[in-house]
């Protein structure tokens, strides 16, 4: 647990123009806009204040908005998430940072039995307008306890929404959208994305939750992924293009609700689907996407849906072992080759 | 008997704490009951005196059963026992809707809705999908649609040409068309060999004496088993064409040519021929013959063979070179068993022999491999006990 | 059993093996295999049928004696106690 | 008797009436459970009435309440109509949670009653959050958080008391210590059984009161609430009480001696309060009869309301999973 390198200088922001900034800066912009725009908004989490955020996302916000609205918490995940729920019941718009999804396991009771359940169980009386941000995923040699991908667990729960921004623009757009939701929204930020740069439209409206995006159009196979795996999937698509295989790449952006219509429309065109997901294969989020394709697009399929997931092992520390465990561009290309038959 | 635990449906009365004639008031404990969670006190909710006890200690009774009668004091009138309107049983549709899969997305126009299984079967049986309409939900083409088409094709080859043809003539026409296509498209090569049948026939006669007549074996079954075991040594002959590729099939299903009375031929499969005993093969073979002649074959039996064996010995023909049935890649033929001079240990004797032939698809195997196969069939027949 | 009853049993067994054949016009002294196009499977089923109907156990070596209808009747009459 | 000097008769009679209402309501609930009208789990409050009624006197309409699955007493004392509670236990749509929660999950936002919580200790972080919101919005109110001695063993007890004390949040932690966490006596699950002293670990003021004496409970709660309202941060008040009935309807009570139950019954909160009032000449038989018949009528009306209540249409199964309209 710890940040890399010094804080990145905030880019000079033009008027309504596009600005090139990193994923973490885009989130910081979103947080700054939210804090200055709505007095009900406040941040809570471990080391979000003086330390500037373990991934440097909340750097500078304590100085700008003060300790009342940027609150470092004790290492009490269950209680500061529960307090976030309570404050949301009390009329606030809290943004809770759980440093990484690995520590969210300590707060799962509050998330499942309170955040996701209170509205339904109270007959509609209680709403929980809460945003929770979590870093997620492997690939940084942090070994088994710090490399989990559990989107499948959270997306299983009715009553909450799950988003996984893959680009700086979505990192800001989905955060702003989440803040307008009357129900809890969990934002999964892949830890390898924080330093990735991209264009962000300063005046952009919040991104609609529940809408996927086509990052690359293609005819012969649909590659479906989200969050930290988008880069590898686009790399695989480029390699396939060299071999004359034209792959369409869909970035789901939102896992619950899932944009099944967009996925099925693409499969109806390409008749083949590969789902890329860093979760472990069994009961992964990819399993749900595959099931929905089978249920909704059965007669469009020319081949069984393929899934490229992490090896079913606790994440090893050694680089070559971790790389072997995680989905890679090469394994995605191989999955497409297997699907199309030897001569591709 | 009161409901005392969440999922209690019956209880055993253990002891009475009051007896007939005792006065009781609301809240008194009048008995103890054994439940799935243990011994629990029974509370009374009305005042009065116990008039009659109906259930004796040790008896197990369902919840709601009357345990005792209490004559209430005139003064206190308890609220009438509330009548409960039971919760509506959920209308299946309504309750189901919340758990239903996303609706089917309409397929693009021109895209046929056909199940993968039906698509595979159609290509195996050479059924043209363009003309077919499905009977599945929303007009989906399913397996039985292909089977009906295949059966219909058997009955009605191109109708418009000869509407008055009888069934077997039309059937011969359909087989003729398939044979012609196979002859044109498949590069056949042909091999033949003569096999000493003496050891097999001697062993068979002896075996049949030991069996009852219902278990009696025909020599044809020995030939079929020898072919099946031979295929294990030359597996490419057991391949089946899948699209543009001949794929060796893991299972060996020998199709046995059966002539139908009044002309016509079918070759249904004896499934897993190599793994079944001679007696089992005999029973299945006999069953196939009976059903073939009464029109009771299943379409899978027609589409499953991975190779075919044809025998014209009974018609007095010494050797027969068959035409391969697509999508198979080989056909084995057996002629009549005849007496021939045969050198045994340097001495010429008269032996019962048979001519075995192989017609095979040169794209998948070559003469050398075909020869190896016939040699192994010959070798297997020399040791019939191990077939 | 009289010869007539044996002949009826033989015809019934033949009918099961070759259901579409016209047995009324069967020549009693011409080979059954040729008249009815019977193969070795049919002969085996015919023998099994006779065994079931008349309880007679016919060894393979006696098959030639069952070549014609009369042959069958004579053989079976002799074989039955 | 530690009653206030110059005991106000009207107030004392009202306390009695509220305790009798809880007692008779719970007895009727037990009866309806044996008839199968109320299903699932049912945790009765009989014996602890003084805690709910006494503490509620120190809480105002702006204060928030977070309780546990043994919350019938708190709900009635907070003023939620007995009919809507009974209807909820019948599973009717007219119940205070729309038939969705049942006995363990009463909610009434109009009275800031944020629920029965069935996860032991699960309510504490919620209470901390409510108090945090009020502090951030500078809203003069406190959050009363009820929990049992069982919750003291949960990690969330430590986390919540620490966070509330650290951020000086207006939380009144009310520990209803009835000596048993279901079937486990206090000494079987706590190294330190003097619960009040645990507050020292968080530099939090604390007190203890006799949970069987409604006036003592009221007095202690007023003092504790005053400390919280003065901005001194949270307060832990331990109320030592006892439940006369099993943990829940399915409990053969193997873990405690019948003798111990009988001993505690001699300190029945209602009987003690009646005796005190008779001694002070403030209560005569007619008053008692009037209270009993008034309560009996209210409980019968609650049953009729529940019986007549409609079932929620099955088509509404998926309503309230998410808010109806998203932006």
- Chains B, C: CB contacts within 8 A come to 35
Q: Which of A146-150, B220-224, B266-270, D180-184 has the highest mean pLDDT?
A: A146-150
What structural domains and CATH numbers belong to chain B? 10-71 (2.40.50.100), 116-170 (no CATH), 188-386 (3.30.559.10)
- Asked whether the predicted pLDDT for residue B102 surpasses 70, the reply is no
CA–CA distance, B304 with B120 (Å, rounded to integer): 12
Domain assignments of chain C as residue spans, ordered by start: 3-19+28-79
Distance from CA of D21 to the nearest CA of A (A): 24
What's the sign of the alpha-carbon dihedral B377, B380, B382, B387? negative
CA–CA distance, B225 with B232 (Å, rounded to integer): 11
Contact criterion met (CB below 8 Å) for D62 and D225: no
Sorting pLDDT into bands at 50, 70 and 90, what band is B296?
confident
pLDDT of residue D147: 97
Of A145, A171, A201, the last residue of a domain is A201
Contact criterion met (CB below 8 Å) for B210 and B383: no
Q: Judge: C37–B261 Cβ closer than 8 Å, yes or no.
A: yes
Peptide bond into B387 cis (omega under 30): no
Contact criterion met (CB below 8 Å) for B31 and D243: no
Say if residue A87 is in the same domain as residue A166.
yes
Say if residue A221 is in the same domain as residue A188.
no
SS3 for chain A, per residue?
Answer: CCCCCCCCCCCCCCCCCEEEEEHHHHHHHHHHHHHHHCCCEEEEECCCCCCCCCCCCCCCHHHHHCCCCEEECCCCHHHHHHHHHHHHHCCCEEEEEEEEHHHHHHHHHHHHHHHCCHHHHCCCCCCCCCEEEEEECCCCCCCHHHCCCCHHHHHCCCCCEEECCCCHHHHHHHHHHHHCCCCCEEEEEEHHHCCCEEEEECCCCCCCCCCCEEEECCCCEEEEECHHHHHHHHHHHHHHHHCCCCEEEEECCEEECCCHHHHHHHHHHHCCEEEEEEEECCCCHHHHHHHHHHHHHHHHCCCCCEEEEECCCCCCCCHHHHHHHCCCHHHHHHHHHHHHCCCC
Sorting pLDDT into bands at 50, 70 and 90, what band is A10?
very low
Distance from CA of B265 to the nearest CA of C (A): 14
CB atoms within 10 A of CB B37: 18
CA–CA distance, D35 with B35 (Å, rounded to integer): 16
In CATH, the architecture of C3-19+28-79 is: Orthogonal Bundle (1.10)
Instruction: Mark the ranges of chain D whose per-residue pLDDT is less than 70.
Output: 1-6, 325-327
Q: List beta partners, residue A222.
A: A248, A273
For residue A107, with 0-12 CB atoms within 10 Å meaning exposed, 13-18 middle and 19 or more buried, which class applies?
A: buried
Distance from CA of D316 to the nearest CA of B (A): 9
Q: Judge: A82–D167 Cβ closer than 8 Å, yes or no.
A: no
Domain that holds residue D74: 9-303
CA–CA distance, B300 with D39 (Å, rounded to integer): 55
CB atoms within 10 A of CB C40: 15
User: pLDDT for A94-119, tens place per residue?
Assistant: 999 999 999 999 999 999 999 999 99
Q: Does residue D324 sit at the B interface (CB-CB below 8 Å)?
A: no
Query: D176: part of which helix (H) or strand (E)?
Result: strand D171-177
CB atoms within 10 A of CB D301: 14
Instruction: Indicate if A77 belongs to the active site.
Output: yes
User: pLDDT for C29-61, tens place per residue?
Assistant: 888 887 887 888 888 888 888 888 888 888 888
CATH number at residue A335: 3.40.50.920
User: pLDDT for A211-225, tens place per residue?
Assistant: 999 999 999 999 999
More confident residue, D40 or B112: D40
Contact criterion met (CB below 8 Å) for D55 and D86: no
Of B38, B43, B85, the CB nearest to D30: B43
Domain-embedded: residue D72: yes
Q: Which of A159, A222, A291, A299 to probe by mutation at the B interface, max B CB count within 10 Å?
A: A299
More confident residue, D59 or B148: D59
pLDDT of residue A120: 97
Domain that holds residue A228: 213-340
Q: CA A187 → CA A1, A133, A275, A313, distances in Å? A: 19, 5, 20, 25
pLDDT of residue A200: 95
Q: Judge: D136–A76 Cβ closer than 8 Å, yes or no.
A: no
User: Which chain A residues are within 8 Å of B105, Cβ to Cβ?
Assistant: 261, 264-265, 268, 296-297, 300
Average pLDDT of chain B is: 83
Which entry of A77, A97, A189, A278 is annotated as an active-site residue? A77
CA–CA distance, A288 with B139 (Å, rounded to integer): 27
Q: Judge: B105–A297 Cβ closer than 8 Å, yes or no.
A: yes
Pairing of the two strands B330-334 and B307-311: parallel
Say if residue A259 is in the same domain as residue A195.
no
CB atoms within 10 A of CB B243: 10
CA–CA distance, B52 with B54 (Å, rounded to integer): 6
Contact criterion met (CB below 8 Å) for D107 and D115: yes
CA–CA distance, A63 with B181 (Å, rounded to integer): 85
CA–CA distance, C52 with C17 (Å, rounded to integer): 14
CA–CA distance, B356 with C20 (Å, rounded to integer): 32
Sorting pLDDT into bands at 50, 70 and 90, what band is C26?
confident
CA–CA distance, A203 with A63 (Å, rounded to integer): 24
What average pLDDT does this structure show over B338-366?
Answer: 89
pLDDT of residue B262: 65
pLDDT of residue B167: 55
Of A102, A71, A99, the closest CA to residue A87 belongs to A71
Sorting pLDDT into bands at 50, 70 and 90, what band is B168?
low
Q: CA B197 → CA A223, B206, B320, C41, D270, distances in Å? A: 62, 14, 17, 19, 107
Instruction: Indicate if A190 belongs to the active site.
Output: no
CA–CA distance, B170 with B160 (Å, rounded to integer): 12
Domain-embedded: residue A8: no
pLDDT of residue B161: 41
User: Which chain D residues are within 8 Å of B64, Cβ to Cβ?
Assistant: 36
More confident residue, B100 or C45: C45
Contact criterion met (CB below 8 Å) for D199 and D164: no
Per the structure block, which two tokens stand in for B296? Answer: 């009771």
* Count of domains forming chain D: 1
Per the structure block, which two tokens stand in for D174? Answer: 């009310």
For the entire predicted model, the pTM comes to: 0.69
Domain-embedded: residue D315: no
Contact criterion met (CB below 8 Å) for A85 and A115: yes
User: pLDDT for B18-61, tens place per residue?
Assistant: 999 999 998 898 999 998 888 888 888 888 999 999 999 999 99
- 């070798």: which residue's tokens? B379
Of D141, B64, B347, D156, the closest CA to residue A74 belongs to D156
Of D33, D37, D252, the CB nearest to B84: D37
pLDDT of residue C64: 85
- Asked whether the predicted pLDDT for residue B91 surpasses 90, the reply is no
- Chains A vs C: touching, with 3+ CB pairs under 8 Å? no
- 């073939």: which residue's tokens? B292
Peptide bond into B327 cis (omega under 30): yes
Distance from CA of D270 to the nearest CA of B (A): 16
CB atoms within 10 A of CB A54: 19
Of A90, A101, B105, A298, the closest CA to residue D141 belongs to A90
Q: Which of A93-97, B297-301, C15-19 is the least confident region?
A: B297-301
CA–CA distance, B261 with B310 (Å, rounded to integer): 16
CA–CA distance, B108 with B123 (Å, rounded to integer): 22
Q: Does residue D6 sit at the B interface (CB-CB below 8 Å)?
A: no
| CA angle centred on B179, ends B174 and B181, rounded to 5° | 100
More confident residue, B300 or D207: D207
CA–CA distance, A39 with A44 (Å, rounded to integer): 15
pLDDT of residue B98: 59
* Count of domains forming chain A: 2
DSSP class of residue B74 equals: S
Phi and psi (nearest 5°) for B28? Answer: -70, 150
Contact criterion met (CB below 8 Å) for B220 and B311: yes
Q: Which of A40-54, B195-209, C61-75 has the highest mean pLDDT?
A: A40-54
**Three-class DSSP category at B346:** coil
Of A177, A201, A225, the last residue of a domain is A201
Query: D159: part of which helix (H) or strand (E)?
Result: helix D155-166
Domain-embedded: residue D94: yes
Domain-embedded: residue D217: yes
Q: Judge: D307–B63 Cβ closer than 8 Å, yes or no.
A: no
Of A178, A180, A204, A181, the closest CA to residue A189 belongs to A178
CATH number at residue D126: 3.40.50.970
Q: Does residue D263 sit at the B interface (CB-CB below 8 Å)?
A: no
pLDDT of residue B159: 44
Q: Judge: D127–A86 Cβ closer than 8 Å, yes or no.
A: yes
Say if residue A29 is in the same domain as residue A77.
yes
Sorting pLDDT into bands at 50, 70 and 90, what band is A314?
very high
Of A201, A223, A256, the last residue of a domain is A201
């Amino acid at each position: 647990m710890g940040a890399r390198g010094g804080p990145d200088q905030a880019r000079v922001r033009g008027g309504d123009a596009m600005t090139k900034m990193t994923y973490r800066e885009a989130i910081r912009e979103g947080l700054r806009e939210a804090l200055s725009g709505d007095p009900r908004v406040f941040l809570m989490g471990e080391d979000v204040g003086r330390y500037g955020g373990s991934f440097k996302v909340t750097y500078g916000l304590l100085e700008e908005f003060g300790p009342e609205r940027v609150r470092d918490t004790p290492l009490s995940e269950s209680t500061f998430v529960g307090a976030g729920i309570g404050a949301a019941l009390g009329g606030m718009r809290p943004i809770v940072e759980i440093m990484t999804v690995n520590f969210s396991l300590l707060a799962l009771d509050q998330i499942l039995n309170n955040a996701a359940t209170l509205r339904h169980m109270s007959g509609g009386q209680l709403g929980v307008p809460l945003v929770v941000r979590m870093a997620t995923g492997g690939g940084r040699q942090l070994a088994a306890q710090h490399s989990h991908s559990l989107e499948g667990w959270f997306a299983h729960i009715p009553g909450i929404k799950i988003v996984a921004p893959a680009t700086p623009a979505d990192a800001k757009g989905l955060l702003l959208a989440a803040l307008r939701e009357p129900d809890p929204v969990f934002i999964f930020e892949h830890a390898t994305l924080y330093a990735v740069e991209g264009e962000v439209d300063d005046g952009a409206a919040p991104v609609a939750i529940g809408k996927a995006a086509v990052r690359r159009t293609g005819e012969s196979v649909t590659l479906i992924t989200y969050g930290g795996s988008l880069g590898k999937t686009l790399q695989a698509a480029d390699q396939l293009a060299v071999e004359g295989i034209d792959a369409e790449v869909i970035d789901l952006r939102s896992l619950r609700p899932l944009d099944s219509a967009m996925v099925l429309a693409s499969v109806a065109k390409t008749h083949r689907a590969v789902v890329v997901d860093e979760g472990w294969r069994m009961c992964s989020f990819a399993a749900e996407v595959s099931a929905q394709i089978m249920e909704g697009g059965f007669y469009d399929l020319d081949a069984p849906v393929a899934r490229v997931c992490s090896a079913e092992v606790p994440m090893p520390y050694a680089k070559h072992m971790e790389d072997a465990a995680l989905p890679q561009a090469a394994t995605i290309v191989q999955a497409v080759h297997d699907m199309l038959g030897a001569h591709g | 008997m009161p409901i005392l635990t969440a999922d209690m449906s019956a209880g055993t009365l253990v002891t009475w704490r009051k007896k007939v004639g005792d006065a009781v008031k609301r809240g008194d404990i009048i008995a103890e009951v054994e439940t799935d969670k243990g011994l629990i006190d029974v509370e009374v909710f009305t005042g009065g005196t116990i008039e009659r006890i109906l259930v004796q200690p040790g008896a197990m009774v369902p919840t709601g059963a009357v345990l005792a009668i209490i004559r209430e004091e005139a003064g206190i009138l308890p609220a009438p026992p509330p009548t409960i309107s039971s919760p509506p049983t959920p209308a299946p549709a309504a309750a189901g809707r919340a758990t239903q899969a996303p609706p089917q997305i309409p397929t693009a126009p021109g895209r046929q809705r056909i199940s993968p299984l039906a698509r595979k079967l159609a290509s195996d049986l050479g059924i043209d999908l363009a003309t077919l309409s499905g009977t599945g939900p929303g007009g989906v083409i399913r397996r039985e649609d292909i089977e009906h088409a295949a059966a219909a094709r058997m009955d009605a080859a191109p109708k418009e040409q000869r509407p008055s043809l009888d069934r077997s003539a039309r059937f011969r026409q359909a087989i003729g068309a398939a044979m012609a296509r196979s002859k044109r498209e498949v590069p056949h090569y042909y091999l033949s060999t003569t096999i000493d049948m003496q050891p097999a026939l001697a062993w068979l006669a002896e075996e049949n004496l030991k069996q009852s007549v219902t278990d009696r074996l025909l020599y044809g079954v020995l030939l079929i088993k020898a072919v099946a075991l031979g295929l294990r040594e030359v597996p490419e002959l057991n391949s089946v064409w899948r699209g543009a590729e001949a794929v060796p099939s893991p299972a060996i299903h020998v199709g046995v040519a059966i002539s139908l009375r009044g002309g016509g031929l079918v070759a249904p499969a004896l499934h897993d021929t190599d793994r079944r005993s001679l007696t089992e093969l005999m029973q299945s073979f006999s069953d196939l013959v009976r059903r073939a002649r009464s029109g009771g074959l299943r379409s899978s039996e027609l589409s499953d063979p991975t190779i075919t064996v044809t025998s014209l010995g009974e018609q007095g023909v010494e050797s027969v070179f068959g035409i391969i049935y697509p999508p198979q890649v080989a056909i084995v033929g057996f002629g009549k068993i005849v007496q021939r001079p045969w050198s045994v240990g340097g001495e010429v004797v008269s032996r019962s022999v048979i001519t075995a032939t192989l017609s095979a698809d040169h794209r998948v195997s070559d003469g050398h491999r075909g020869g190896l196969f016939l040699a192994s069939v010959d070798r297997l027949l020399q040791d019939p006990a191990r077939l | 059993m009289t010869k007539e009853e044996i002949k009826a049993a033989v015809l019934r067994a033949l009918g099961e093996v070759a259901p579409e054949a016209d047995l009324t016009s069967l020549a009693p002294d011409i080979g059954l295999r040729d008249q009815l196009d019977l193969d070795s499977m049919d002969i085996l089923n015919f023998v099994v049928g006779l065994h079931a109907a008349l309880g007679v156990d016919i060894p393979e070596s006696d098959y030639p004696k069952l070549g014609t209808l009369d042959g069958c009747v004579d053989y079976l009459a002799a074989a039955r106690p | 008797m530690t009653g206030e000097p110059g005991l106000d008769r009207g107030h004392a009679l009202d306390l009695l009436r509220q305790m009798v209402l809880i007692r008779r309501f719970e007895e009727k609930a037990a009866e309806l459970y044996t008839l199968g009208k109320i299903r699932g789990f049912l945790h009765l409050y009989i014996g602890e009435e003084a805690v709910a009624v006494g503490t509620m006197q120190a809480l105002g309409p702006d204060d928030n309440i977070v309780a546990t699955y043994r919350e019938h007493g708190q709900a009635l004392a907070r003023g939620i109509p007995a009919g809507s509670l009974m209807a909820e236990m019948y599973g009717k749509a007219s119940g205070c949670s729309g038939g969705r929660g049942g006995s363990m999950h009463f909610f009434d936002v109009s009275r800031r009653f944020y629920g029965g919580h069935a996860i032991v200790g699960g309510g504490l972080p919620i209470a901390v959050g409510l108090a945090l919101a009020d502090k951030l919005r500078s809203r003069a109110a406190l959050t009363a958080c009820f929990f049992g001695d069982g919750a003291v063993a949960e990690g969330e007890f430590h986390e919540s008391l620490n966070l509330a004390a650290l951020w000086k949040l207006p939380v009144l932690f009310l520990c209803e210590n009835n000596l048993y966490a279901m079937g486990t006596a206090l000494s079987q699950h706590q190294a330190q059984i003097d619960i009040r002293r645990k507050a020292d670990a968080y530099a939090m003021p604390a007190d203890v009161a006799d949970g069987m004496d409604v006036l003592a409970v009221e007095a202690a709660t007023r003092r504790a609430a005053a400390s919280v309202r003065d901005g001194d941060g949270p307060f832990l008040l331990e109320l030592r009480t006892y439940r006369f009935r099993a943990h829940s309807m399915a409990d053969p009570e193997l873990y405690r001696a019948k003798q111990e139950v009988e001993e505690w019954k001699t300190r029945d909160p209602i009987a003690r309060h009646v005796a005190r009032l008779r001694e002070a000449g403030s209560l005569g038989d007619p008053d008692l009869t009037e209270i009993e018949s008034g309560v009996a009528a209210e409980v019968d009306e609650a049953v009729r309301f529940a019986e007549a209540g409609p079932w929620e249409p099955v088509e509404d199964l998926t309503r309230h999973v998410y808010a109806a309209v998203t932006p």
